[in-house]
Each structure stands twice: as C-alpha cells, then as structure tokens.
Amino acid sequence: MNIKKISLVLAVLFLFSAISVQAKTIEFTIGSDSMYISDSDIAKKTIDAKPYIENSRTMIPIRAVSENFGAEVSWNDAERKVTITADETIIELFIDSDIAKVNGEDKKLDTPPAIVDSRTMVPLRFISEALGKNVEYISASKQVLITDESPVMTINGERVTIDEFRAWATLLGYQLDPAYAEYIINDLSNTIMVTNLMAQEAEYNGYSLTEAQSLELTNSISSMSEDIYKSSLIAPIAKLLSDDLIITHYIDDLAAEEYPKTFVRAKHILILTTNMETGEKYDAAKLDEARQTVEDIKKKLDGGEDFDKLMTEYCEDPGIHTNPDGYVFTYGEMVPEFEETAFALKEGEISDIVETDYGYHIIKKEPLPEMDETIPGKIATVKLNEIYEECMVIGTIVQNMSFDELAEQLFGDLLIEMPQEK
C-alpha cells in the first residue's frame, strides 16, 4: 500500500469503554443476494431479495436487517403496515407512504417502503438508525455496512471499528499471533490513524476517486476470493483501498505544489571545528587554523575560482563524496543556521561564512533536481504531523476501547490458548 510510505510514530493511548455484548456487522452488496455477518466469525447467508438503490437511497428486504439484529417483524395486511419491535423501540412503516412512526412519533422518509416480488423493501439507513445501528455506504464497491459495534477509536467524528482493524490485518498479511499482539495492535492503530487523517484531508480538499481509479479498484475487488471472508469482510477492505487511491492522488498533487516551495538543494564547503568521532570541540590553535582556512577559501571564491573545484579540494564533510551535486532537504532536516542560509540564498548565489556546531560552512544554492520518489512521503509526513497536532489540540482523536478489549476483539479465542506465565 502506498500509504505505508508515510511514517509517523504515534503513541496509542487507549481509554476505557466496556464491551458487554458480542458486536455484529452485516455486509450487503447492491444487486447481490449474498449477505455476510461478522461477529465471532464471518457467516454467509442468502437473502430473498436483492438490495437496490432508488432516489439515492438503498432499499433492502426488511427481515434481513431487523431479524439479524434480534428485532421482531410483523405484517398487518389490512393496513399494509410493517411493525419492527426491538427492545423499547417500535417502528411502523406503511407501504407506499413516506411517513413512518417511531414510538408513535411521525418520521418523514425520503423513499417509501415498497413490495417488490412479494418482498417488503425498506430504506436501509432509516431502519438501521432507528434501531440504533450505524450505517456506512462504500461507494467504490457498492456495499453497505450495518453495525452495532462500539468504535475502537473516533477520528474527527469518523468511527473506526474492529472490522477496519481486521481488514488492515488482512491487507498487511498479518498472522494474528497473540504472542505479537502489542506490536500488531500498535502497527494497525498507527496505520489506521495515518490513513484516516490523510483520507479526510484529501476529501476536504475535494479529492475523490477518478474514473480510472474506480475501475482499478473495481477490478481489485472483483478478483478477491471468497477466502478473504475467513478473516475479513470485503467492504472495509474496499474502503481502505479507496482511501489509499485518493490519498496517493492527493499526495502526488500536494508534492508537485509544495516541492519547489519547501525544498532546497545546496552544496557546501565545510571546514570542521569539531572532532566528528568524539564530538569534542577543537582547541584554540586548531580553531584559529580552521578559521583562517575558510577565510582563504572565501577570498578565492570572491576572486572567481570554481566552487566545485574548491569543494573537492577542501570540504571535510564525508557525505559530499556521495552527494557531489549537493543535498536536497526541507525544513527541519539540517541545523538551523545552515537551513536558514540555504533557503535565503538565490539560485547560484554563494553565502558568507556560516558557523554551526560542526564548523564553518560556505554554502551555494543550486536549482532543485526533478522530484524523486522520496519527496512525496516527506511532504506527506510534514502535512500529517500538522493535522495530527491540530487534532490533539482540539481533541478530535478519541480512543474508545482499552488495549485489552481491542486484543480480545481482534484475537478472540487465540488469547485463551496462549500459555500462561508461571
């Protein structure tokens, strides 16, 4: 995945929220009579009517959602009314009417219930949310997820569930070995945090899948084997692949815009004033000698001698031999004095003598080379850190599940099989 090129070390600070019941997620696909239910494992069921979209609303067979979440469904033929009862919630829907009742209160529907091929079809989002479930539509794969899972974390109001953790584990090829639970959970948490923050930023800036990306994703999903359902639902994987494509497009454009603004290439002639092996400062005599040397070099440059020739002859930076064309860097990668001077120079301009903890530098600013494959990742990391710090200030990243609860949800019975320490 391209997003894995972005590196950010995040401390996973889990708060506490008790999980008292087994969570459940149902996955539908528009136009398919297959339904997958994820709780302790993933089971496939066949439904008696295929979900479809009408007036931009997903319609599903009433019993597929209601009964799989423990609700009771009854039909009143005289009133052409469907009643769904779940705990203290009573939902009444009337065929071809855009008015429903929830606990006796009228609710307006965007699309009325209908009977199709002798099956009652109802608007998915209304029913699910009236039953207290969360609904997510994955447009890239035309799939719907309905869940009563408590979120593992919430990022700017977007819920991240255990199904997303399982999807990432599948994509990254993790074997869920509880012996490595801490590493796996921290890596998945970090990856999910990065992906969500960058996807939200990309979408905020107007990015969505292009036609070519949609086709690429559709092809990827269509090639997925039923074997995937042994470890993960496909809809969360489709969402992650969609996010990754959007992020890649956004980062590529961001890098093209930011590269000339935030990067510089510079050569330098360094005369050391510090022993690079021990870190000790030179004595007074050697410091005077170094100062005299760099001043002589500056006079030669002012007299028109070639910078590269003098750099080859005098520069005491061992890295210059592997970077003869200079260093390409952005803010925060060099010592402040060197960075400030390099960015302030005009292309082709040579600086005065600049002193840092390493020694005396004479710096020449060079034109930037073509952007290489490392630059987008660096720019994305800077952007990500900005977004993350802002979220920390305003408190929009919330960990809702403790580490132990997450481990239990992710590893299940495997934790019980672990040998106990004596």
Res 68 pLDDT > 60: yes
Range 45-134 classified under CATH 3.30.457.10: yes
Res 17 pLDDT > 60: no
Distance CA 291, CA 299 (A): 12
Fill in the amino acid letter for 170.
T
pLDDT given at position 10 = 34
Indicate the domain borders of the chain: 45-134, 261-366
pLDDT given at position 417 = 42
pLDDT given at position 22 = 56
Nearest to 160 by CA among 2, 397, 415, 393: 397
Q: Could you tell me which residue, 366 or 229, shows the higher pLDDT?
A: 366
Res 206 pLDDT > 50: yes
88 falls in which pLDDT band (50, 70, 90)? confident
Q: What is the mean pLDDT of residues 356-385?
A: 94
Q: Spell out where 302-396 has E strands.
A: 327-330, 350-355, 359-366
Most confident of 22-26, 210-214, 368-372: 368-372
Distance CA 177, CA 276 (A): 44
Indicate the average pLDDT of the chain: 87
Contact between residue 397 and residue 193 where contact means Cβ atoms under 8 Å apart: yes
Q: What is the mean pLDDT of residues 18-45?
A: 80
pLDDT given at position 20 = 33
pLDDT given at position 264 = 97
Q: Could you tell me which residue, 389 or 217, shows the higher pLDDT?
A: 389
Q: What 3 state SS string does 243-265 have? A: HHHHHHHHHHHHHHHHHHHHEEE
pLDDT given at position 413 = 57
CATH code reported for the domain at 261-366: 3.10.50.40
Fill in the amino acid letter for 151.
P
Res 109 pLDDT > 60: yes
> Do 45-134 and 261-366 come out as alike in CATH topology?
no
276-295: pLDDT as tens digits: 889 899 999 999 999 999 99
1 falls in which pLDDT band (50, 70, 90)? very low
Nearest to 129 by CA among 91, 166, 167, 96: 91
Res 327 pLDDT > 70: yes
224 falls in which pLDDT band (50, 70, 90)? confident
Alpha-carbon distances of 169 from 15, 240, 259, rounded to whole Å: 22, 11, 33
pLDDT given at position 410 = 82
233-281: pLDDT as tens digits: 999 999 998 999 999 999 999 999 999 999 999 999 999 999 988 989 9
